[in-house]
Structure formats: structure tokens, C-alpha cells
Amino acid sequence: MSENDPSFGRLMNSERGVLDVLFRGGGTTQGDLVNALDLTQQSISRIVGGLSDREMIVSGEKVSGTKGYRTSALKLAGEFAHSVGVSITAGTAAMVVMNFAGDIVDQSKAHPRSMGVENVAAWIEEGLRGYSGDQDRRGVFAGLGLSIAGSFIDERSFNTPSYLEEWAGIDVQQVLGARLGCAVFAENDGNAATLAEGMLGVGRWAPSFAYLYLSSGVGGGLMLNGELWRGRYGNAGEFAGGLPPNIYPFPNLELLRILVARDGASFETVDELVTHYDPSWPAIEEWITRVHDSVSIIVSNAAAILDLDAIVLGGLIPVDLARRLAAKLEMFDQRRRSVARPIARLVPGEVQSDAAAIGAAMLPLRATFFAPQGLRAPIAASRGAVPQP
């Protein structure tokens, strides 16, 4: 079959669909795949056979099939491929290594004095050398995913906060790809964290949700019907953009860091604040009071406009703080005829550790193996080549 044959494209998309279902759900039977993808049993058997021959999927333990028969669950072969994800934010760079099955097999974090391009690129390069030197990790290297704070200016550059001044306006993928010699995929931190939550967290029970990314700043992302919705320019989910300036305080964790420092507990970065989070801090209640109106407006608008399954309080916010904030928020509703409108669940994020870096690690895997070909992938495409096994 030629790559120019239309049936070849359909086969590739069907294979990617099978891989995507397995990545999202773990152990899945052939019967489950038939139901999920609306393909015939014969087509699924042929696709599964081909993927098994290429050692991309393996059979797991026996489970009950759709008709009560015992059948083998299918799962992705984790060792088939790996990717690396890096997130860059205020004073902190985090790196994770993800295998083909979505498992985190290694992670590290640094607090470089400078978050400049050269300094961070050197740290990433060192991490990649350590990755390539580990003989236990074989198979395809899908590339590097990068999550960065800021909004898209165009498909390949960002308008970053002042603490990432050197990263503003540059072609991040081209600059890092040339330096590191691998495929690079870049996304903003809100979208990357939303992708992680959609694949490994809340998205497993809520196909459509808004993700409020709380860190040094505030951003977010949207998952609609199981897919990351980036919007026209890649900036969907900039929820704080709807707040009138100088009226409502931005609901970020930098404000909490300032309030906690006033009470005598000083932390240099929000990441350090989160690491040492203490539920007994008196400043927590003041922070909730200050950001209450801002977040209430954000979540009420998201729920009313999009009619979602859930709204997630995520990013770097600790689960305890997210729950306490959620308990105080208002979801505005006219209650016509005294009947409450069905409304999204307000929940903490389930992916708690370096969600943006985890989402960044998914970018190369999705672009290479999971996202349907012929459709715009949910990330900006990279020019870099992917090494073959």
C-alpha cells in the first residue's frame, strides 16, 4: 500500500485512534476498541495485529469481554518510545521523562539563578544527555515538549511574563531544536497542564472541562469532548483576560506568597511556597477573601458559556487550598422559576506534580503517534526530525 493511497491515510488514522484510546484508558479489550472507534471487529483485529507485530502494544491480564468471555486486555508497550517534557516558569524549570504508556519514569527540577534562554537550554541539554546515556531506555525518542508561561503571539512565539524576558517573541521550537538536535514542540503552560489533566486526571470522567491554571500568574485551558481546544491563536482559556483591570485582583499564588511573607514566612518563588505549604497559615483566609470575586466571575462565566462537565482548579495550587477556595466560590445563577441550572462540578486538579511538564511530555508522543494525521494537531508542529528505532 502506497503512502499516497487514501486507504493508507485511513489506516494510519485508525491505528492512531487505537493507540489514543489505549493511552487514555490503559488496559482495553478489542471489544472496547470496537465500541470506542466505531470500527468492525475484523478491522480492529487487523490493526491490533499490526501494532503488536511492531511491538507497540502488548497483551495484559485476562479480563471479562463484552460477551462475558475471558479475553486479554491490551495496553501500550511503555518501552517502545519515550519523550521528555520541560516546563519553564518563575524561577523554576521542571523536567519529566514519559514512556509510550504515559508513565513518568524520571523527573527532576532546578531553580536556576537566571531563566535566560542559554542557561535553561544548557540545563535541558544536560538532562537529555543523562536520558540518552541510560541504557534501560530504548526505542523511539519522540522529542522534547516545552511548556512556557505566556500567550501565543503567533504559532511559534510567545508573549511571556517579564521574568522570562529572553523568551519573548522568539521561535522557541527553532531555537531549542537547533541547539538540542531533536524535534521540539512548544505550548503555553495552561494548555499543557490541561492536556495532562485531560489524559491522566479529571478528563477520564469529564470529557469537557475548563482548567484554571494558578501559579505565579493565572491562565488556563479548555478540554472539549476529550480534545484540547486551543482556539484560533492558541490562547483559549485565558480566563483572567475577562477581568476588568484594576478592579479585581488577579487570583494567583504570587499574591499568597506576598501575604505569607508579611506574616514572617518568606519564600523566593511560588514553587518554594507550594513545596512548604502549611494549611495553618493565617494568610490563606485573606487570600481566599481577596480572590473570591475574581474566581467566582471566572468559573461562573466558564460554566454558563460552555456548559461543561467540570471546572478544575489546577496549576500549582495545593489540593487543600483548591478545596477551601472552591467551598467559598459563588456560581452565579438566576434560578428561573426557583430551579437551579445544571452546572459544572468544581474540583481540584488530579494531576498534582508538575502538570505542565507532564503535558509537555505528551506533546511529542501525541504528534508522532496519537493525533490523527491530516488534522491540525493540538500543538504547533515542529520542523525537527524524530529519530527512528
| pLDDT for position 9 | 45
Per-residue pLDDT at 333: 82
pLDDT given at position 335? 77
Q: What is the CATH number of domain 205-348?
A: 3.30.420.40
Phi/psi of residue 344, nearest 5 degrees? -65, 145
Q: Which residue has the higher pLDDT, 107 or 340?
A: 107
- For residue 137, what pLDDT is reported? 59
| Secondary element (H or E) of residue 126 | helix 117-132
Give the confidence band of 71 by pLDDT, cuts at 50, 70, 90.
confident
Residue 65 above 60 pLDDT?
no
pLDDT at 136: 56
Mean pLDDT of 262-275: 94
- List Cα–Cα distances, 176 to 35, 91, 215, 381, 386, in angstroms: 41, 19, 24, 14, 15
Cα-flanking dihedrals φ and ψ of residue 24, to 5°?
Answer: -70, -35
Mean pLDDT of 142-169: 93
Which pLDDT score is estimated for 87? 96
Q: Which residue has the cell 544527555?
A: 129
Average model confidence (pLDDT) for the chain?
87
Residues in CB range of 43: below 8 A, 6 or more apart: 14
Q: Which three cell numbers stand for residue 269?
A: 518563588
- In this prediction, residue 164 carries a pLDDT of 94
> What proportion of the chain, given as a percentage, has pLDDT over 70?
88
> pLDDT, tens digit, for every residue of 80-98?
999 999 999 988 999 999 9
pLDDT at 358: 97
Cα distance between residue 47 and residue 16, in whole Å: 10
Number of neighbouring beta carbons within 10 Å of residue 55: 12
Q: Determine the Cα–Cα distance for residues 39 and 13; give it in Å rounded to an integer.
A: 12
DSSP state of 335: -
Length of the chain, please?
Answer: 389
Q: Report the Cα–Cα distance between both ends of the chain, in Å, rounded.
A: 22
Assigned fold of 79-194+354-370? Nucleotidyltransferase; domain 5 (3.30.420)
Are 101 and 76 contacting, i.e. CB atoms less than 8 angstroms apart? yes
Residue 159: pLDDT band by 50, 70, 90 thresholds? very high
- Sorted by where each begins, the domain ranges of the chain are 6-76, 79-194+354-370, 205-348
Tell me whether strands 209-214 and 218-224 are parallel, antiparallel or unpaired.
Answer: antiparallel
Average pLDDT over residues 124-133: 83
pLDDT for the residue numbered 69: 57
Q: What average pLDDT does this structure show over 25-52?
A: 88
Among residues of the chain, what percentage have pLDDT more than 90? Answer: 70
For residue 171, is pLDDT > 80? yes
Q: Cα separation of 200 and 197, whole Å? A: 5
Q: Do the domains 79-194+354-370 and 205-348 sit in the same CATH topology, yes or no?
A: yes
Q: Is the pLDDT of residue 192 over 90?
A: yes
pTM: 0.88
**Mean local confidence (pLDDT), 166-191:** 95
**Is CATH 3.40.50.300 correct for 6-76?**
no
